[in-house]
Structures are given as structure tokens and as C-alpha cells.
Amino acid sequence: MEKSLPPLAPGTLYLVATPIGNLEDITLRALRTLRECDVVAAEDTRRTGQLLKHFEISKPMLSYFQFNEAKRSEQIIERLKGGEKVALVTDAGTPGISDPGERVVRAAVAAGLRVESVPGPCALIAALTASGLPTDEFHFIGFLPHKSGQRRNQLVALKEFAGTLALYESPYRIEKLLGELNEVFPDRTIVLARELTKKFEEFLRGKPAELLALVAKRSLKGEFVVLVSGEVELPAENADDAGGTH
């Protein structure tokens, strides 16, 4: 079957999604891309090295992370212009989604180079689809600012959004975030998705105050996707009829 597959295109930047926990989530296409590329641009070469070793893939790697992405972007663009096939990966999930990758994609597009996505695991989608909240309209925020004032201002600005809100948070700030959600969205349903695709994957659902009480009783570890139900209001003309019989 693999013989009939088209070879990787020279001078192409491949954005390869990698597992967010469960190694079984790697796709056949991702494995083929990693095997056939010329170089792997990785957020953390040690972590990606472990992934490649697990799948018995040996490739040269180039470190690419938040603090050297400007310089590395230039080097990656030069490699692409020279006809190399570059696979870009992050520590976990889809490159560019709250992870490095966006800058080099913009640079490649601006240079008229080909960019191809090799889709796969994404914590946002894994959490949203299993949350039980509406998925037809959602707003992804990523990580909130670290400063309390900026965090609260951003949350307040999102109050009028009708769809589901989705953001990422670390275990060190999850209690703080729940406190902020309790102030801004006290009546909304919150879903905490943690340890996604891993052995201890868990979805916790409730109002902010309920989840705050839970967090006070037990320590919650792992990275979180936090989902907030949207604002649902009855149209003014129907408000008086709510709960009535017809």
C-alpha cells in the first residue's frame, strides 16, 4: 500500500501532530512523514527523540522553541528554499495551537513556500467533543495572561460570547482560575478535562463553586482544558412564556 502513496514534496513544511499522551494516537501518515522528511524541527529535541526512538525512526533534529523561534524560522526557511522536507513537531499535539509553530508558518507562507498539515491529536478538540457542551460554536482562548487584572479583564470581555469557551490551564493555577470563573461566570457549567488520552483521564463537570469545593478536597494534577458553557438567554418576547403550558 505504501508504494502507491505519493512521496513527500521537496521544499515543504509539514506540521505533524503528535500524541498528547497515548502513543497509539500517532497516525500512519505522521509516521511516514517523520520517516521520509530530511529534518525534524522540534520544540524539545529530547522529548521528540524519545518519540522517534519508540517508533524506531532516526532523523536529524533542529531545536525550535519560544525563545529561539525567530532565528530558527530563518534557518528553516533557508532549508525549505534548498528543497529540504521539514517536519515540525511540538512536545505534544498540533503545532501552532498554544505551541510554537505559528511564526515559521507565517514566514513560510510569506516566502511562497508550501505548508502542509498532517492532522492528528489536539487537546482542545479531544476535550470539547467529550465535554457534553455545545460544539457548534466555540471560542478558543489558549492560556490566559498570568497577571490577575489582565486575566479577569479577558474573562469579563468574553461574557457576551454565546458559544462554548475553551482555554488551557496548568495544575498550578487551576484553583485560581476556578475562583475567577466563580466571580465572572457563577451560573455557567464548567468542564475540567485533565490527563487527556492518559491512564487517569478525567472529566469534572459542575458550577465553578462546586468545582472549587472539589479542588479543595483533592489535588488535581496534569494539564487542563477548561470549558465554559455559553450564555444562553431566552428572547425578550418569549421570556414571559418560559415554563408555561401551551
Question: Could you read off the pLDDT of 111-153 as tens digits, one per residue?
Answer: 999 999 999 999 999 999 999 999 999 999 999 999 989 999 9
Report yes or no on whether pTM surpasses 0.85: yes
Domains of the chain are 2-118 (3.40.1010.10), 123-228 (3.30.950.10)
DSSP the chain: -GGGSPPPPTTEEEEE-B-SS-GGG--HHHHHHHHH-SEEEES-HHHHHHHHHHTT----EEE--TTTHHHHHHHHHHHHHTT--EEEE-SSB-TTSSSTTHHHHHHHHHTT-EEEEE----HHHHHHHHHSS--SSEEEEEEPPSSHHHHHHHHHHTTT--SEEEEEE-TTTHHHHHHHHHHH-TTS-EEEEESTTSTT-EEEEE-HHHHHHHHHHS---S-EEEEEPPP----GGGGGGTT---
Predicted pLDDT at 5: 84
Predicted pLDDT at 99: 83
Question: Could you read off the pLDDT of 76-102 as tens digits, one per residue?
Answer: 999 999 999 999 999 999 998 988 888
Q: Could you tell me the mean pLDDT of each successive run of 10 residues in the chain, 246 residues long?
A: 78 98 96 98 94 97 81 92 97 90 93 97 97 96 92 94 95 95 97 96 97 93 95 48 40
Predicted pLDDT at 100: 82
Predicted pLDDT at 204: 97
